[in-house]
Amino acid sequence: MIYFLNIFITIILSILSLTFLNNIALFNVTPILPLFYVTSLTYFRKGFEPILLSVLAGLIYDFFSATPFGFYLILFLAIASLVRIFYQEGMKEMTLIGYFSFVSFGLLAMFLGQVAVLFFGDVAFKPLSLLVPFVKTFFVNMLWALLLYFAIIWYFEKVKVLENKLKLR
């Protein structure tokens, strides 16, 4: 049951980021909500569920983005894999610093990947001209990550309670 709920939340956050939040973007920057959710899901959940949901979120983003297909898939898989490597499965609590470090790493990886796509795509550009948009994107996404941190912590506390109730049956 919780697997289906996590799939539903991943799909809703992906669609919300790609559609509705484009209309109310702060400083013309749309947050990448699935990145925040996949990071915390990988931190709290065991097994292959977080990896599969990062693939789902990456595919949804790839279908509706202008980047080469597979860019967001690789990005979300890399973040989920790094969280899985650096932290053991099924942690009970997530610190704000740990959460911010992986979200900021994900945003930095996204920026470097976009620069690499532009560089190898034979597009004439100056890499330093992308620095200001990256800084705006970084700070707006970190603000959204802070706002969602508390909702994510609350959600996973409720999931733990629900799982414990289901185990007692």
**Residue pLDDT tens, the chain, 169 long:** 788 989 999 999 999 988 888 888 778 888 888 988 988 888 888 788 888 999 999 999 999 888 888 888 998 998 888 888 887 655 667 788 888 888 888 888 888 887 777 777 666 666 667 778 888 889 999 999 998 899 988 988 888 888 888 887 7
Report the alpha-carbon distance of residue 43 to residue 24 in Å, rounded.
29
In this predicted structure, what is the pLDDT of residue 57?
A: 93
Q: For residue 42, what are its two tokens?
A: 């990988």
C-alpha distances out from residue 155 to 5, 92, 115, 149, Å? 11, 13, 35, 10
Report the alpha-carbon distance of residue 119 to residue 25 in Å, rounded.
27
In this predicted structure, what is the pLDDT of residue 27?
A: 82
Report the alpha-carbon distance of residue 66 to residue 168 in Å, rounded.
48
Backbone CA torsion sign across 121, 123, 127, 129: negative
In this predicted structure, what is the pLDDT of residue 92?
A: 67
Beta pairing partners, 123: none
In this predicted structure, what is the pLDDT of residue 11?
A: 93
In this predicted structure, what is the pLDDT of residue 29?
A: 84
Q: For residue 124, what are its two tokens?
A: 């004439």
Report the alpha-carbon distance of residue 40 to residue 25 in Å, rounded.
23
In this predicted structure, what is the pLDDT of residue 125?
A: 62
